[in-house]
Amino acid sequence: MGPSGKRAITALLSFLSGLLISQLIGNGSPVLVPRCPVQLRVVGNCSCNDLRSQLGKCQSRKFVTKFEAGHVPMVKTFKKKTKSQRKFFLDCGANVASSVQLFRDTYPKGQEYIIHSFELDERLAPYFAPYSDHVLHCPTAVSDNDGNMTAFSESAWAPDKGKNNNIDMQWGGGTLYVDKKEKIDTVSGGRRKLSHRKTVPTVDLSQWIQQNFATNDHIILKLDVEGAEYTILKKMLQDNTFRWIDKFYGEFHPGQPTGWTKEQKRKLMDDLKKNKINQVSWAAELQKYGDMDTLHKSQVPAKTPGSPGKVYSSCGPSSPTVPARVAVVVQVGMNAKMAHRLIETIQAYTSHIPLREMFLDMVLHWSVNHTIGVREGHPYPMGHFDLVHQNWIHSNLIMSVLRLQELDIQPAYYLPANVSDQMKDVAKNRGLRIVQPTAAFPPTSGTLLTYNNYYRFRDVERVPKALRMISSALGKTGGVLVLDSDHPDSYMNSVFLLDYLVENSGFQLVRIEDCIAGV
C-alpha cells in the first residue's frame, strides 16, 4: 500500500444526524458581515436616542419595540439609497418565534435579512431574545388601521385546563376575533381558552410598509394573523402596497368570526388573483413552507458514487487477490477542541496518509473559528431524532446542507445515529447517500464501553481494549469505521489505530467515495 492512493482516509464531515455550523463572535451572538440594521424611529417606552446610539455602535443588533396600550405607534424609517439591496422578512403573527427560527435556519441567505416580528401577546416576547438583526413589535397587532383593539389570548397551561378547540395543545398567541360565547366567558375563555384579554395597539400594516421601506428593498411578507388578513389584504390592494412586496407567504383563516361573508372573502380572493398576488403557504409549526423544496433542490453531483437514500455500511466484497477495504470516517461532534486535535493528529500521521483536502482544511478552520454542531439543527438526545416527524427531519437536513453550501461545500453523505424509513425518504429527496458504520468508536452496538471493561483502566490500558473492539467489529471484511471526535479516546487511540490499520490489519484503506463505489 504505497503512494498509489490505497492509503486514504476521508474526513467525512458527518452529521450525527447532520452537520450544523454556527459562527460565534464576541458574546456568542451569531453574526455574518458587520453591518447595522434598519434605523428606526420608535415611540412608546423605547428611547429613540438610545436606539440610535446602539445603531451607531453596530454591536448590539437586537431591538424590541414596545408600544403602550392606548398609544398609536408612529414608526418611521429612512429610505436611503444603498449600494446593495436591503432585505427584510416581515413576520406578522409571530407567536413563539417559530417563523423566525425556520426562516433563519432554512431560507436561502436567511441570515442576511432583518426581521420585523409583530405579536400581540406580550407573554411570548422572551422567545425572540436569542435573535440578532431582529426587531420585535410586541404587544402590537397588525391591522388595516392605527388604533387599539382587544387581543384575546390563550390562558396559561394547567393540568386541569382542558382541550383547546377540542385539541390537547398550548396554542400560544391570540386573535382579535372571537365569537359571542368566547367574548362573554371571561373565566375559561370558551372553546379556545381565550381568557387572557388586553387592549393592544394596532398598526396599519399597509401604511407602515410604505412609510418604512423603499420599493427597491427586497421584502418577504409572512401573514398569519388569525382572520385579520382579510381587512389587511383589502387595504394593501387599495393602497397598491404589493409594489413593495417581493414574496407573500401566509395562511387564510376562513373559520375565524371576522364578520366577513363568504361573498366578501371570495371577492378578495378574486381581486388578489386579478392582481397576480400569489400567496405561498407557510406553516412554521409544521416546519414547512410551500416552496421549500423548490428553493432547496438537491445539488449533489449526478456522478457521486452510490444512490440517494440508500444505506451503505460496507466497502464491497473482498477476494483472494483484492484485500478487504476500510474507510475511516471522522464524526465531527460538539467539542471543537477535540475535533481539532483528532483531525490534526490524523493529518500528521507519519505515513502521510492523504486526506481529502476539500473537507479537511474546512474542518480544521471550523474547529478553531466555529462551533460545529450535530444532530441536524436540533440537539435531540441520542435516540430521539429518529422518532420525530418527517417534516423535522426534512427541514433540519435542509438546514445542515445549507450551512455547508454557504461555505461552498456540497455534502453528499449523511450519517444519522439510526436509520428509519422516513429518514431514507428525506435523504433520497435531498440526494444524500446514507452512511452507517460497520464499526464505531465508541461502539454503538455489540460490546459497549462500561466501567468494568474499559473506563476503570489507565489510558495505556484502554488503548488495546478499544482497538480490539474495533478490530472485532471490522472482522475480516472491513467496512466503514466511524470515530466520534467528542470522545477524547478517539484522539488518544488515533495513532495506534492507524499503525494497526496500515501495518497489521491487511485492510486496504480507501476514501468513503471509493468504499461506496465498490458496493
H-assigned helices in 299-389: 336-347, 357-369
- Say what the pLDDT of residue 399 is: 87
Q: How confident is the model at residue 517 (pLDDT cuts 50, 70, 90)?
A: confident
CA distance 143 to 67: 15
Positive or negative: CA dihedral 175, 179, 182, 186: positive
Q: Sheet containing 311-312: which strands, arranged edge to edge?
A: 311-312, 433-435, 413-414
Range with the lowest mean pLDDT among 51-60, 179-188, 202-211, 245-254? 51-60
Question: What pLDDT digit, counting tens, does each position of 289-345 carry?
Answer: 999 999 999 998 889 899 999 999 998 776 677 789 998 888 877 677 887 788 778
Give the DSSP letter string of 118-174: E-S-GGGGGGGTT-SSEEEETT-EEESSSEEEEEEEPPPP-TT---BTTB-----SE
H-assigned helices in 213-261: 229-238
All structural domains of the chain: 39-146+203-292 (3.40.50), 299-517 (3.20.20.370)
CA distance 42 to 52: 10
- Say what the pLDDT of residue 375 is: 40
Of 309, 383, 409, which Cα lies nearest the Cα of 16?
383
Phi and psi dihedrals of 165, rounded to 5? Answer: 55, 40
Residue 73's identity, in one-letter code, is P
Whether 354 and 7 have beta carbons less than 8 Å apart is answered as yes
H or E stretch at 48: helix 48-57
- Report the residue count for the chain: 519
Total-model pTM = 0.78
Determine the distance from the C-alpha atom of residue 4 to the mean position of all C-alpha atoms in its chain, rounded to a whole number. 41
Does residue 191 have a pLDDT over 50? Answer: yes
